[in-house]
Every structure is written in structure tokens, then in C-alpha cells.
Amino acid sequence: MRVLGIETSCDETALAIYDTDLGLLGHEIYSQIPLHALYGGVVPELASRDHLKKLPIILKKLLAKTSCAFSDLNGIAVTCGPGLVGALRVGVSFAQALGLSLEIPVIGVHHMEGHLLAPMLENPAPAYPFVALLVSGGHTLLIEAQAFGVYKILGESLDDAVGEAFDKTAKMMGLPYPGGPELAKLAERGRPNVFNFTRPMTDRPGCDFSFSGLKTQVLMAYQHSDKSEITKENLAYGFQEAVVETLRIKITRAMELTQAKRLVLAGGVAANQALRSCIANLSKIKGWEIFYPRPEFCTDNGAMIAYVGAMRLGIKLKKLGPKEVINNQINSQINIQGRWSLEDLSKPADGLLQ
């Protein structure tokens, strides 16, 4: 079965084709970063309009690149939440129109399930059960993936997501959008023990996070500093060190709590080298197996959506048969959910496995 994956939940227009026998056939990612950089952050209305403009162009390019015709596609998977509602609506409308004209099933995919299972596109892929740290611009989650579609949230951020804290801290130091990778670059030149920030919520039990206080600490230190390049480098180092250390402590707790032996690191912030090397060292000491998606699949991409869609569509087709799936689709809408917990996928209303 060949499934086209469509991702438009934020500022990337991304498409991919996944074949259940051959694996990933190809993918395309178009980033809107230059469009939003002018405003210092994502402008939702501009994001929606640009997705609409780019989707047909990128699809054409992907079909040519993978030597696929429309008639080779057996299904479409599209991100339907969480994310920017307007941007999601563009992707879902495009997918539904295409599905209707090709008479193939369309399935909605949870964006974070995509991130969670992005390492399944690599070799070796993690076996279930595993613990995953999902760190992106919108989410900070520690999850126990017990089986496909059965996820337990062990901890999450009570305020800013890690990527958001990186971006906001970078912005206040005058770095260009998106600030996360820029701040990480600055931190590479910083020195240890110049700024020592707290490791938020590590003195309390549990696996929840809070990063907005840390961001404020850095802001105060910056405002009272000489604002020189060297100071900025040292502040970036101190901030990144506090984040990585906090994540290390919470990951250790989650692994001990679940007795898991496999750890997945995914989401945009999983591209951070300091985090990767800290967790790699820790895994060696603890004897854990660690899995990451390749860097371009850490950030938003269509491949992870095509993969999850292919798995879910496979289950649905087996259960209902192709005719019933298409009939269901004509009579029902794909629910667009700006906010949507990953744990809901395990509930009968949203899950497809029960």
C-alpha cells in the first residue's frame, strides 16, 4: 500500500510517500521560515495562505521525484491536530479533495504521534515498549509507548515548551527567528560556570517540566549584564546546560519508573547536539538503547505522517474493508483539533485499535 503524507500544522509544508513494502519512497519539505522571520514568529494567517499556494507545487515535485502517478496512491494521511487551526484546515481540505477525486481513503493523523514514531523510519527502529522524550516548539512530553497507538503521558510542560523557551530566550537576546538553533550555536562558544541557572522542578517528584521561570532568569541576567557577545555566549551556555540537565534528570526518572530499556529522542529540539551527547553518555552508563530520527525527521516532515497514516489505514482497512472505509469517509468529516492530547488516541472514540 502506498500512502501520501501531508503535514501543514505549523510553518512547514511537507509531503512524503510511504510504501508499506518498500518503506519511504521520498519526501519534500518546504519551510516558511523566511516568510515569518520578518515578524519574529509564525503569523498564522500567512502560514495558511502559503500552505495553500505551495501544496500543489510540492505534490507535483514529489510525484516526479518518486516516479509515482496519482493512480499509484492507495491512501492519504494528513495531520489534523494539534497545531494552527487554519493551517491544519488547508492540509485537511487539500487531502479530502484529492481523496475524493482519486476515490481513495483519507485518514487524519495526530502530529505528535508522527514525531513519536519518526524513528520507525530508521534502521534499526525501536521495538515496543519504549520511553520517548518529545521536545518541539509546541510540546515537551515524556511518553511511554506501550504498543502502536497505546501511549501514556509520564510528564509534560506546565508552561513553555522547551523549543519555545529556546526561541523566546534567543529573541530577547536579539537572535533571528527561529532562535533555538541560533542559541545552540552561541552556546557552543560559551564557557561553563559563568552563569548557573536552576534546574526547574527537579526538586519535586514526578516527570513534569516548567521552563518559563528559567527563561525569566536568563532575561534578568541579560538585562543586568554588559550585553557583550561573550556574555551572550555564556548566557546561552548556562541556559542550554540548565535545560539539558533538567531533561536528563526527568528522563532518568521516566526510565526508572517504567523499567524501560529503550529511549527515543524526537521533535525539533532533539536536533540539539548538547542534548544528544548528554543523553548518549547517559545511555551508555545505564545500558539503554537510544534511537533518534535523522535530523530532517526531528523537525516537522511529511514522512512521519505518511508512516503513521499507513499503519492506521492498514488497521482500518483490515477491520472494515475498503468499501466501508470509503463510505465512512464520504459520510463523515476529519475532525480538526488545535489542541489534542496524545493519550486520547488510546481511547475508543479516537483510537482505531479497539
Binding site for ligand KG4 (CB under 6 A): 10, 136-138, 163, 166-167, 178-181, 184, 267-269, 271-272, 299-300
- Give the nearest distance from C-beta 112 to ligand KG4 in angstroms: 8
- Give the nearest distance from C-beta 50 to ligand KG4 in angstroms: 16
- Give the nearest distance from C-beta 108 to ligand KG4 in angstroms: 17
Which is nearer to Zn ion, 92 or 260 (by Cβ)? Answer: 92
CA separation for the pair 121, 131 (Å, rounded): 17
The option from ligand KG4, Zn ion, none interacting with 163 (CB < 5 to 8 A, set by class) reads ligand KG4
Which is nearer to ligand KG4, 63 or 304 (by Cβ)? Answer: 304
The option from Zn ion, ligand KG4, none interacting with 269 (CB < 5 to 8 A, set by class) reads ligand KG4
The option from ligand KG4, Zn ion, none interacting with 178 (CB < 5 to 8 A, set by class) reads ligand KG4
Name the helix (H) or strand (E) containing 165.
Answer: helix 162-172
- Give the nearest distance from C-beta 12 to Zn ion in angstroms: 8
Contact 6, 27 (CB under 8 A): no
Number of H helices, E strands in the chain: 12, 10
Which is nearer to Zn ion, 9 or 66 (by Cβ)? Answer: 9
Which is nearer to ligand KG4, 95 or 183 (by Cβ)? Answer: 183
* Biggest CA pair distance of the chain: 68
Residue type, 192: P
**What is the residue-wise DSSP string for 271-326?**
G-HHHHHHHHHHHHHHT-EEE---HHHHSS-SHHHHHHHHHHHHHHHHHH-HHHHH
Which is nearer to ligand KG4, 75 or 81 (by Cβ)? Answer: 81
Name the helix (H) or strand (E) containing 262.
Answer: strand 262-266
- For residue 241, give the C-alpha cell: 546546560
- Give the nearest distance from C-beta 141 to ligand KG4 in angstroms: 11
- Give the nearest distance from C-beta 268 to ligand KG4 in angstroms: 2
Name the helix (H) or strand (E) containing 243.
Answer: helix 229-258
Which is nearer to ligand KG4, 83 or 99 (by Cβ)? Answer: 83
Distance between terminal CA atoms of the chain? 22
- Give the nearest distance from C-beta 166 to ligand KG4 in angstroms: 4
Which is nearer to Zn ion, 145 or 218 (by Cβ)? Answer: 145
The option from Zn ion, ligand KG4, none interacting with 271 (CB < 5 to 8 A, set by class) reads ligand KG4
* Count of other CB atoms within 10 angstroms of residue 261: 15
Contact 44, 84 (CB under 8 A): yes
- For residue 220, give the C-alpha cell: 534578568
Q: Residues 54, 60, 63, 64: what is their CA dihedral angle, to the nearest 10 degrees?
A: -120
- Give the nearest distance from C-beta 269 to ligand KG4 in angstroms: 4
**Residue 263's beta-bridge partner residues?**
131, 290
The option from ligand KG4, Zn ion, none interacting with 94 (CB < 5 to 8 A, set by class) reads none
The option from ligand KG4, Zn ion, none interacting with 86 (CB < 5 to 8 A, set by class) reads none
The option from Zn ion, ligand KG4, none interacting with 167 (CB < 5 to 8 A, set by class) reads ligand KG4
Residues that bind Zn ion (CB under 5 A): 136, 300
Report strand pairing: 262-266 vs 150-156. unpaired
Contact 295, 181 (CB under 8 A): no
Which is nearer to ligand KG4, 139 or 316 (by Cβ)? Answer: 139
